[in-house]
Amino acid sequence: MKRTHLLHAELSQVIAAMGHGDMLVIGDAGLPIPDGPRRIDLAVARGVPRLDEVLAAVLSELTVESAVVACEALPADQDRPAWYPTALPMAPLAVSHEEFKQRSAKARAIVRTGECTPYANILLIAGVSFEI
């Protein structure tokens, strides 16, 4: 029996296959999903699951070296959205929503949550853990 946080088999499989530099997008219910990346739809109802819940579970399994968000997600005078995880020490790279969608098209997978907050989308770039 799997003893880690992720119970969703398809998401767990994608994370297990990711290598350095691979990208994974976690998005709100309204994020347009382009053809190409694997689609993983976790939404069961409006707000379920929330983006921050899915993000916390993914971060428990994936080493992340950087993150990208749409600049529209950033509150005025802040460098991180309210939902941005404290587990990631780096501030996200902020790009236009159009550029975010272009980068998303190159992701290994796009995970759709039930989040209904505009621009609540994050692109994670996998890193490598050399911990012994």
8 catalytic residue (yes or no):
no
* Residue matched to tokens 């297990």: 16
Of 66, 62, 67, 68, the C-alpha closest to 18 is: 62
Q: Which residues pair with 70 in a beta bridge?
A: 95
Residue from 5, 8, 20, 97 carrying the catalytic annotation = 20
Question: If you write DSSP's letter for every residue of 24-64 in order, what string do you get?
Answer: EEEE-TT----SSSEEEE---BTTBS-HHHHHHHHHTT--E
Q: Which residues are catalytic?
A: 20
